[in-house]
Amino acid sequence: MRVLLALSRLIDAVNDGIGKLTYWLVLLAVLVSSGNAVIRYSLNHSSNAWLELQWYLFSAVFLLCAGYTFLRNEHIRIDIILGRFSKRVQAWVDIFGILVFMFPMTILIMVLSWPMFMDSYLTNEMSSDAGGLIRWPSKFLVPAGFFLLTLQGVSELIKRIAYLAGAIDEPGEKMHGHS
């Protein structure tokens, strides 16, 4: 169990680090959006590349932070119903949800999105809009984001099992602090 908990801590650290780095993408998206708006209205000039960059950054924030959100227990849950049960029942429900719903969905999305990314990468697919960006980086975000979410699911699964085995205190409490 110690090895699995060490793996869980490593996965948590990876998603925590990526989540905190992704905070900066929000700022960058705001700056790009603001700069683009100022240039468009003051100089009557616009660029599809800047518009697409905003879309890429917005996508990166949501896709790369899914695992971070799960780590911090900030994801959407059915707490109004689940909160009425004991912590042990809640852990069992989490285990069931991760195994039966989350893993099949995240793995399916990774498997189906990988060929789309590879095709885009190998053909150096470009935007169909004039002056647009290459497409493969945005297509890579889908399998990458769902991979990070799957990894965090592994970590959360380990923590729930360790909790039920009495090896750790209750996992899954909402983390507080800056977000």
Q: In this structure, is residue 28 part of a structural domain?
A: yes
d(CA 58, CA 9): 28
Cα 111 to chain centroid distance, Å, stands at 16
H helix or E strand, kind and range, residue 138: helix 136-164
Q: In this structure, is residue 85 part of a structural domain?
A: yes
> What would the pLDDT profile of 32-71 be if each residue is shown by its tens digit?
989 888 888 888 887 888 888 988 999 999 999 999 999 9
Q: In this structure, is residue 172 part of a structural domain?
A: no
pLDDT level of residue 176 (50, 70, 90 thresholds) = very low
Q: In this structure, is residue 76 part of a structural domain?
A: yes
Q: In this structure, is residue 176 part of a structural domain?
A: no
Angle at 60 between CA 102 and CA 178, to 5 degrees: 85
- For the cut 80, the answer to whether the pLDDT of residue 133 exceeds it is yes
Q: In this structure, is residue 109 part of a structural domain?
A: yes
Q: In this structure, is residue 177 part of a structural domain?
A: no
> What would the pLDDT profile of 73-102 be if each residue is shown by its tens digit?
887 777 777 778 888 998 999 999 999 999
| Structural domains of the chain, count | 1
